[in-house]
Amino acid sequence: MPNLLYLESMDSVRSSWGSSERRDQAAAQVAVEALLAFAFGNRLVVQQSYALDSYAFQKVLKPISQAYEEVHSSSNMWATGRPAPVQLHLHRARTFLDVVANTIERATTATSDGGYFYSSLYPELNARERHGDFQVAVRKIADSGSLNAFRNLIDDYDRRELIDILDKWFGPAHVENAELVVTPKEKPYHSIDDMLMGLYRDDSRVMTELNKHEVLGSESSKHIIQAVRRLRTAAPGQKLPNDRSLYYGDRAWTADGRTALDVLKSEADLDAVREMVNTLYNRIVVRSIGTSDAFYTTDLGSKDPERDALAQSLALSASAHVLGPSARAQRNHELTIFPASVTFQAPGDAAVAFWRQFEGNAKSAFAKVFEMADDQEWRRSLHNVKGAVMLGDMGALEDATAAHVALLADGLAGILAPGPGGGVQFASGLAGVAGGLAVNPIVPVIAQVSGGWTTGLGILSATLSIGGVVSPRAWRALQRQWAANALKKSLGEFVTAEEG
């Protein structure tokens, strides 16, 4: 059975409908992560509200669903009993249609403090004058058993088409449907404030560990910690809320009506806090699933990738002291993932250019990966990768990964290739774990891609969360050298560190 993998890049806050550039950046990141997740033997799980409200997720589900239907041609793809490559996490809902109806209710009915659920993908839902139409749609969804009533209220073809695809894929989803819905094993709940508790006092165990590992040596890390402390001090009851709309909207943060931005007086500081909150919000979701590995990533379209990666590192470090290390982390070490570095010499945004290149061939690329999953050589190759992980043999892991990436590249030849002006660089971002503390230093990576130099932070260990064994020696090697061992070009280059 493939591993179940949760991608933070599917978070709906990253791909609001208002900016086509942001949407394309988010879609590029999800597409790359999803393709490689499948290539390394994983299934994906998406949180129910992201399934409905994340443009990036829905845009990438389109070629995934088309490819899967082509490879497993059947009038009912789920009749085979084969688990879907993308499954749904239902929380306090029995069906996906219930999720849609409940989301519309939350978006059109004020809470006790006057707030509404804010939709990233459907500004129509946020328009008060249209609330009545959507409330009628809720009743029609229940009566019809489809999303047509909701679809017909959306203003453009692109999103209506995505709703049709979503309806076809998750419309049959209900809690008893094991092919489409994961069976959760929920872990004990801890709030965002609980997980950040160790950052609030200089004499805490978390701060002591961060100092010991020299994570607090930069002014940037101290500045981020001060920002989260200032927000907490200003919050009523002095607890950071889990309601993420308070970090983005104009709702009052303080008792005297000031917003979070009013408190910090800096959009950059607030962005860093948002990165921490978003990561921990997704940790809460992952714990509510309980059976999934997770990819915690910073945003490919970030204004300040280094700051965001540092903020995420601090959040994960603090939360590890509350939640404890995973069983894998206790045995070995965990991987933490940082943003992709995508470079194009042509003018325009790199990620947008990549997505526009990738989108036309995405269905064929996903179909090829789904086809190869049944190939004996492919299965042996994955077995070798997983065996190296279980043995904790870094050299064998690099060799097995190189061989598997070569198979992937051969399979995708003629379907995907770096464009004439650049490509995509993937590098391993490794997180050492010491005493339950995830320490994720910022590691710059420089690699030559298609004749042009690019600099970025690491993103994607090619093992993609199948076990992530990283020895302290390997971690020190990564710190010493910026790039080594280009394994094989497929979408770009995979770069790992050589020991020595």
Q: 201-223 pLDDT, tens per residue?
A: 999 988 888 887 666 667 888 89
Half-sphere exposure of 304 (CA within 13 A, CB side): 16
For the packed helices 362-372 and 55-71, what is the interaxial angle rounded to 10 degrees?
50
For residue 462, report the phi and psi dihedrals to the nearest 5 degrees: -65, -20
> What's the pLDDT at 415?
76
DSSP 23: H
Taken in order 347, 348, 350, 356, the sign of the CA dihedral is negative
H/E segment holding residue 177: none
- Structure tokens belonging to residue 336: 């933490």
User: In this predicted model, what pLDDT tens digit does every residue of 280-295 receive, in sequence order?
Assistant: 999 999 999 998 887 7
DSSP 181: B
DSSP 453: E
Residues 410, 497 contacting (CB under 8 angstroms): no
Count of Cβ atoms closer than 10 Å to residue 114 Cβ: 8
| Cα separation, 106 vs 121, whole angstroms | 15
User: Which of 203, 459, 238 is closest to 337 using CA atoms?
Assistant: 459
| Cα separation, 254 vs 230, whole angstroms | 11
Burial class (CB in 10 A: 0-12, 13-18, 19+), 317: buried
Helix, strand, or coil (residue 90): coil
For residue 187, report the phi and psi dihedrals to the nearest 5 degrees: -95, 165
- Structure tokens belonging to residue 308: 């965001």
CA distances from 154 to 55, 129, 145, 162, 397 (A): 14, 14, 18, 11, 48
125 DSSP β-pair partners: none
User: Which of 457, 466, 447, 58 is closest to 297 using CA atoms?
Assistant: 457
For tokens 């058993």, what's the residue? 145
Residues of the chain with pLDDT under 50: 326-348, 418-500
User: Which of 95, 27, 36 is closest to 61 using CA atoms?
Assistant: 27
